[in-house]
Structure 1
């Protein structure tokens, strides 16, 4: 892997080789064992890249974390401190994960929204295959810039593996640093490849990026839900757009529409899911390879836990059009004595192409509790039809149970583009 590709920070430019500190690398190598991991609490982008570079040079898997180390490292199961390297930077050991850590580049944690958190161990070969798939789809060359708006602790592997395998400079910038991004786009020969969420792409970047021509910008969309309506609207604006598979978090793209119109679900899932039968693979037109950790099997729509080094509790559903990953903690909502299938009800809304996202929740008021489906749809002329469609499906499935529907052009999202599934925060957002 080349180490000469530049990294552009807000305060200047460097490259991978300049980040590596031989003395730190030497001390890390002295601590390296088959189960060693370099873990640190994510801070500035420059600091994160610095420690990522030291981990790679020392041959240690990297594990940037969002919160305090003690809080986050519980996902590893049994683990031990080895040595503190710097403030909030440690070498730790997890002996039971030693087989999974062989040739592991980076430990990728889920966001924690599932009933139990999941973890994947992408190796260099997997990252390289995803990079090649990405390059082939977008016809990259060495002048293309690469930018990722996801948090570093969730997608560090994207921030260094793809651009370096593809020979592309990295823009290590926050999603809000649009002026700097636009300065790069003033060169008509520059193309910018952006890994981002559908919400940030459509609601923010598409409005504020100022390329000489939209084809300079390539959106690679990943996240908990990627709607075909968002893909098509971005393409209608002239942006090159596809749904990324291999870039998604450990729990995968929660619902990725695999219709031919998308024509660009690139890459393979991170090792973490081994998805079932030949029919399943043929229908999805995906090549799934490598050992799955945890070794899940999809069988008749139900995810079965098998004996393995690591387990998690998710549901996988494939209905011929949509692939769904859901944590068991929110598979069903109990309402008036009836268990409501969350994925089913949300799926009724997501069948509508103009619907960008939806989530089901119980909203407690002083006098009553409501079952509410929050729907994001920019086409207000379709709102009445969506409500009628939902009422019809609800009547057929659950009889007289009333579903309240809140539709808005934009639902509330986190700064990193993740849908906020707190109904009270959404109601406050809709009232503002």
Structure 2
């Protein structure tokens, strides 16, 4: 990477000139070199400009993990238009509200993944629409191939401080907010990860995050280092394993549940090229770490990042890592502190709020004066502890803590204990109102397949491992827990409806 921040387009131009024939993107839809990618980006930018898009406009992207997502992202930013990836898995009402709020000058979608109600709404919205997978229901949408055959448009003059896209929060604590992510933010976050994991142009990257959850993670590391990336639409143990072997993947990023599946279903395989296995988005417990390390000889490197930090800001590294769920140490170019309610730094071993500063930390939300911070520090709302060696451990969201008769209970503490039970597949713990204690823990559990949970035995299991006030006063078995787009459990839905009407598992 260069010493000074590059825009996305500058990075693409650089590698299209240095290594035009090197494959940049590998996908089911085909392989694309840096030169081919640049040509597609230029042509799409020309089409968007012809449709009247100007600097400062927004373009909504309702696209899964496929090359068109990356090309759309790069084309928009090259003409100073803010790309806005939207969670197409959300309810039609939510998507319509997002589009109405953003007022996009164009919409690029994969019609095969967009709900019929949303297609109808987009058709009535009247902004130019581009369809990657066109269906008869939206005849006015321009086919993708028509757009990328348009005469090219050169990039507009850009500065690293210009906005590149809106990186949306998960919405787990309210309606999603769009953090304005600049080219400089992307550069410094990527450079931080590259230095943390010693990434080079020889790497092959596989990132399995959702296309609307930190979408730059899909391509930025490959783009800025001149490496290759692999897009995988299907997330299953066999598909992941096959991709790792076939494409000789060296670096992958996924969620704890993905590593759990791989460790369980692919023990007899080897991944000779894999050297970096990042796990983010949720805590990766000790059992998942041990099973993966024992099966493949590769440690899972837990990381922590947020929309507001533009990606990972804490990480375990190949030479310094923990398998106990620790988030790791601060990455280069990030300053990290733990503070109390008054903003004063606390000692090792105490619980405080994580705050961040650095060139990759955002400075505001789109069309909003709100900024959760002070004096240049972003206050994350996450509670954590730091040990004597400088490793950070996530405790709980600040607003997720439960007070049982005045005593603090962190749901994650209870969840980690329950996850160790052999019959528990997934678990989520929330606080529910109770007259005598004010609030008590309630656990939602998805059992492992072909198992029957003995509730008395499970309560006894908890009492042997937790203080009495931490033991869930109620346990509800469910077929599956609700998820948000990033794969995290949607606790907002559980808190809004603690009775959670999904059916119980068949016994």
| 8 A Cα contact 1:257 1:322, kept in partner | no
Structure 1 CA distance for aligned equivalents of residues 30 and 270 of structure 2:
24
Bigger radius of gyration among the two: 2
Residues 148 and 158, structure 1, Cα contact 8 Å, conserved in 2: yes
Match of 2:75 in 1: 54
1:168 deviates by 2.2
CA distance in 2, matches of 1:304, 1:347: 30
Aligned counterpart in structure 1 of residue 84 of structure 2, from 39, 63, 71: 63
- Equivalences for residues 32-431 of structure 1 within 5 A: 33=54, 35-43=56-64, 45-67=66-88, 71-72=94-95, 79-82=102-105, 84-87=127-130, 102-176=161-235, 182-183=241-242, 185-186=244-245, 190-204=248-262, 207-208=265-266, 212-213=270-271, 216=274, 218-237=276-295, 238-246=297-305, 248-250=306-308, 261-262=322-323, 265=328, 279=345, 288-290=357-359, 292-294=362-364, 305=372, 315-320=381-386, 322-323=393-394, 326=397, 328=399, 344-350=410-416, 354=420, 358-361=427-430, 372-374=442-444, 384-394=460-470, 403-405=473-475, 412=481, 417-419=487-489, 421=491, 422=494, 428=503, 430-431=505-506
**Kept in 2: contact 1:245–1:268 (CA 8 A):** no
Over aligned residues, Cα RMSD in angstroms? 5.3
In 2, Cα distance between the equivalents of 1:428 and 1:53?
Answer: 43
Change (3 A) 1:361 1:181: closer
Q: Secondary structure at the match of 2:304?
A: coil
3-state SS of paired residue (1:230): helix
Aligned CA distance change for structure 1 residues 148 and 391 (closer, same or farther; 3 Å): same
Judged with a 3 Å threshold, the aligned counterparts in structure 2 of structure 1 residues 319 and 351 are, in CA distance, closer, same or farther, namely farther
Counterpart Cα distance in 1 of 2:333 and 2:195: 19
Per-residue displacement from partner, 1:309-335 (whole Å, max 9, x unpaired)?
A: xx99x743234464456385x6669x9
CA drift of 1:241 comes to 1.7
Task: Give 1:287 shift.
Answer: 7.1
Secondary structure of the 1:293 match is coil
Instruction: Rate the CA distance shift 1:72–1:104 in 2: closer, same or farther, 3 A.
Output: farther
Count of matched residue pairs: 392
Q: Structure 2: state its 5+ residue gaps.
A: 1-10, 107-126, 132-140, 143-159, 387-391, 434-438
1:38/1:236 CA distance change after superposition, 3 Å: same
Cα distance in 1 between the residues matched to 2:221 and 2:54 = 27
SS of corresponding position for 2:248: coil
For each residue in 1:72-98, what CA deviation from the matched residue of structure 2 results, as whole angstroms up to 9, or x when unmatched? 4856996545453424799xxxxxxxx
Q: Distance in 2 between matches of 1:109 and 1:430?
A: 33
What are the Cα deviations for residues 101-134 of structure 1, in whole angstroms up to 9, with x where unaligned? 9422231112221134333233333323333333
TM-score (structure 1 length as normaliser): 0.67
Aligned-partner Cα distance in 1 for 2:103–2:47: 18
Partner secondary structure for residue 212 of structure 1: coil
Contact 2:44/2:72, CA 8 A, preserved across alignment: no
Distance 1:269 1:427 in 2: 44
Structure with higher helix content: 1
Which consecutive unaligned segments of at least 5 residues does structure 1 have? 91-100, 296-302, 396-401
The 2-side partners of 1:203 and 1:179 are apart by 9
Bigger shift: 151-160 or 27-36? 27-36
Q: Which residue in the other structure is 2:110 paired with?
A: none
Q: What SS does structure 2 have at the residue aligned with 1:373? A: strand
Matched, 1:6 2:24: yes
Cα distance between partner residues in 2 of 1:249 and 1:34? 23
Report which stretch shifted further, 173-182 or 261-270.
261-270
